Structure 1
Amino acid sequence: MARPVRAVLLLTAVLLTSVAFPPAADARRDEVPRLDAARLSAAVRAAHTPAAASIARTNLEQGGPPAPGALEVAETGTPAYTIDPDFVRGLPGAPVGRLAYVAVVVTAADGRKATLQVTPQGADDWTVEAALSGEDEHRLAETLAPGAVLLSEPQINGWYALEPGKVTLLRASLPQNPVGESLPLAGYQRQLANRYGDRLPGGPADRKGEIGFDQDRPEQGVVPGAVWPSAGLLLLCVVAVILVVRRRGRAKPHREPGARKCSGSGLHRG
């Protein structure tokens, strides 16, 4: 086989491997799409609107307590993540969690507290859709180690500290592991697949109309399955190059008067 052809085939193998199996895929598995400071500030500002205050008052007045009076809205927020269905599926490189909302605490004049759930609407907008009693997210976030994020498993009302390579259960109504125990991400993924594999979008529970995972999906760049059309296009291009190289190698040299001399493996040497 001619040297140019061998070189092209080797390049093809390297490129296809890099496209189909990105080397950093597994390294991203412990990450979540973290908020930058600007987006976090925008989420907190959305909690300071009259509409957000109305939602907080409605929550604080549930059950017949007195009107909350003046409200104090916190100037900080806690990003709360929830498990990503692609991580449950075991897709390579899938993040463990995706942002669910930013939790902002509201305090009534008598000390009662509620938490506004500020959810993203596209890339830049935020809206307050609900309020929960108490300040659970804020209190749990205070226990996190530097660099860890708060991850929820709503099906068991569970909260975890997500750190590189592991999760640690902080609290759960139906704990699957002892509270305070850390679990490697590979083991956690296997647990999730066993618990919820049939409840993912498109699965048996979804087809029956039963409650499963949230259908809404944020934009997350390249879809894992979209890598193969790119690989196919790359392969076609490389095959075309091989055919050209072979055709030139088999062609007999024909020199026109005054033509430039060209050296190459496909020409007879004089």
Structure 2
Amino acid sequence: MSRRVLVLAVLTGAALLMTAPVSGAAQAAGISSADAFAAHSAAAELQDVLARFFAQAPGAGEPVSVQIAPDAYPVYELSPDFVAGRPGAAPGEFAYFAIPARASDGRTATLWSVRGDDGSWQIGNIASGDVEGEYARKLPAGAQLLHEPQVDAWYAVRDGRVTPLSDTNAAATDTAVTNAAVTVAGYQRTVEARYADKLPGSVYARDGEAGGYDATSQVMPRGDGGPAPSGHDTGWVPLLILAGVLAVSGAGYVLHLRRNPA
């Protein structure tokens, strides 16, 4: 193999690693494997914070150790543009990566890793339970995990259809959504009927009525989740991935030269 071809292969491989999508649904929202890695790295720094979280939670007993799962599940929240019926709007907007954690006594929690204004990933909340993980593991390949927070309902969105995943969907008023999959257009009509008069800027929202649709509160505490820990800048993580790829590939190139001198 010529030096030029080998160098080109190294750079191409690094570029592919940096841009590899998590899934088809995630790629459509601009979320890549590098984002998932950076989001997870922000969570991996919080072992001590998680231990305190479990120690302070109701029912806490002996001190526990904590294990953070290797998964980072992209979670989407119902889009106000979709509710309003704007052309081209997708049902959900990316909200956070859900990263499950488990204590040695069996209790679970979920870290919500969010992207800051500067592009770095940081932990926005720690919530009790493994809700997102339970539903994400039920998703068909290529489906998007959608949360409708006002009724705490969870859906799989794929191929133009919205399929209920949670028992809490029974609390919704539309049986077409609670009992079976519907088209995206059908789901839009349902949520428009529920929330069109409660969108940001509506009289309902201006009056501060409970249950209004607040597009600014995508990441909110759940269960016994405490205050969000201080953020950690993880914007450098993708660069480390690239550096690692180049270092390993460079070592291979040196070995190639030693075995095959010009």
TM-score bin, normalised by smaller chain: 0.5 to 0.7
**Paired residue for 1:208?**
207
| CA offsets 1:10-36 (integer angstroms, 9 cap, x no match) | xxxxxxxxxxxxxxxxxxxxx951411
Please give the residue correspondences for 1:146-157 in structure 2 after superposition, counting only pairs within 5 Å. Answer: 146-157=141-152
> Hey, what does 1:80 align to over in structure 2?
75
Distance 1:92 1:71, change over 3 A: same
Q: Which residue of 1 aligns with 2:39?
A: 43
TM-score normalised according to structure 2 size: 0.65
Change (3 A) 1:126 1:197: same
CA deviation digits over 1:182-204, x for unaligned, max 9? 01111100110100011100112
In structure 2, the CA distance between the partners of 1:166 and 1:179, relative to structure 1 (3 Å rule), is same
Query: Once the 2 structures are TM-superposed, how far is the Cα of residue 180 of structure 1 from its aligned partner?
Result: 5.6
**For structure 1, which runs of at least 5 residues remain unmatched after alignment?**
1-30, 219-270
Counterpart among 133, 142, 148 of residue 138 in structure 1 = 133
Look up the SS of the partner of 1:132 in the other structure.
Answer: strand
The structure, 1 or 2, with the larger RCO (C-alpha pairs under 8 Å, 6+ apart) is 2
Distance in 1, Cα, partners of 2:73 & 2:206: 34
Aligned to 1:95: 90
Equivalent pairs: percent with the same residue?
36
1:8-47 to structure 2, matched below 5 A, reads: 33-47=29-43
| Structure possessing the higher radius of gyration over alpha carbons | 1
How many positions carry a matched residue from both structures? 187
C-alpha RMSD of the superposition:
2.3
Q: C-alpha distance in 2, partners of 1:154/1:126? A: 23
Whole-angstrom CA distance in 1 between matches of 2:53 and 2:158: 36
Question: Whole-Å Cα distance in 2 between the matches of residues 58 and 47 of structure 1?
Answer: 13
TM-score of the superposition, structure 1-length normalised?
Answer: 0.63
Over 3 Å counting, the alpha-carbon distance change for 1:67 and 1:121 in structure 2 is farther
